[in-house]
Amino acid sequence: METRRIGSLEVSVVGLGCNNFGRRLDFDATSAVVDAALEAGIAFFDTADVYGGTRSEEYLGRALGRRREEVVLATKFGSRIDEQRRGARPEYVHRAVDDSLRRLGTDRIDLYQLHRPDREVPIGETLGALDELVKAGKVREIGCSNFSADQLREAEEARRDGAARFVGVQNEYSLLHREPEQDVLPECERREIAFIPYFPLANGLLTGKYRRGQAAPAGSRLDSGRGERLLTHRNLAVVERLIEFSESRRRTILELAFSWLLRRPAVASVIAGATSPEQARSNAAAAGWDLADGELAEVDSILTHKD
């Protein structure tokens, strides 16, 4: 699989998001997904201390086992686990990384990310603590998630000379959620920050299993009223046109969803979750469509069409 860089880290252009581990998947099912991902060439695994009530990190570490050295391992901190374990205070940063290292069964985290901004803590204080982790060898690179362009600039301005800087930002981005194009992606290109899209399939809407005029598949993520925000008339109409566009080129909408994101210069790796080995393999194989400029223009026309 093709690779790109997040700071000094070389990552596969498709990554595995591990938010299902410990929540929707037990350890055996987690292990099967991890095995399939590795076999398919995925070598970038992204989790968070809060996923699965902290079980995601534990399951991922156990599933990787001795193969830990074959992958780039990313996790996040800062979301609320409980009243004591939350936020980005320097003293908590040190506790959080030690907890994650223990659960993951490793001596270092390749990419350690602040899960969301903490408005109660000056970003310079958090960066100072993260720099200490890098100097201690517990972390190789640092990043952030759910940051705006202004917050990225604030972090860069607050960084001490020579200290570790955010080399990646992980925000929601997909064919149906293009907000990062307004300012975050241009900011990433200016500052050479890698962009890591999450929810690239819009909670499954861009897999092709949700179709206009048909009920959501029973038991799916958007079934039972959970998909009201996404299963709108406009979104479903756009999905139908994207499916038609892809099939006219003997491709799938899944391939389009991954490959379209990877045409953005700042995008390093597309993070997608999987609940089965089949999904992991399909995601890994979906990044090989080299979209021509004319095809990108046609997709943009579909996305901006007024119903």
* Closest listed residue to residue 158, CA positions, set 123, 132, 188, 191: 123
Question: What is d(CA 54, CA 51) in angstroms, rounded to the nearest whole number?
Answer: 6
Residue 173 annotated to the active site: no
Residues in contact with 180: Cβ distance below 8 Å, sequence separation at least 6, in sequence order: 171, 172, 173, 195, 197
Task: Tokens for 147, please give them.
Answer: 């940051």
DSSP string, 250-297: T--HHHHHHHHHHTSTTB--EEEE-SSHHHHHHHHGGG-----HHHHH
Helix (H) or strand (E) holding 171: strand 166-172
Q: Annotated catalytic residue: which of 51, 92, 173, 210?
A: 51
> 219 in the Ramachandran plot: left (φ > 0), alpha (ψ -120 to 50) or beta?
left
* Closest listed residue to residue 284, CA positions, set 77, 69, 35: 35
Specify whether the CB–CB gap between 195 and 267 falls below 8 A.
yes
Catalytically annotated residues: 51
